[in-house]
Amino acid sequence: MPRKMAIVDYSACYPERCDQGLCLAALACPRKVLRQEMPFEMPEPNPTMCAGCGVCVVACPVKAIHVSAT
């Protein structure tokens, strides 16, 4: 059975549009799957920990994240 997980579209991701360069999707993730090492850097998902809940999708102001079956 395919597993759902968050996928970041890096061509659409603009961390500078998030508050103070902090990825709003990473802040909203209940499992802290999305990591952002420094402000204004692209968020990196951890696919083995993602539950595919979609909270990050709703939180992303530029719609650069979607949930997909793998």
**pLDDT one digit per residue (tens) for the chain, 70 residues:** 788 999 999 999 999 988 899 999 999 999 999 989 899 999 998 888 999 999 999 999 999 999 998 7
Signed CA dihedral, 25, 30, 35, 39: sign only = positive
Residue 57 φ then ψ, to 5°: -60, -45
Residue 65 φ then ψ, to 5°: -125, 140
Q: Which amino acid is at 13?
A: C
Contact 56, 28 (CB under 8 A): yes
| pTM score | 0.86
CATH numbers and ranges of domains, the chain? 4-69 (3.30.70.20)
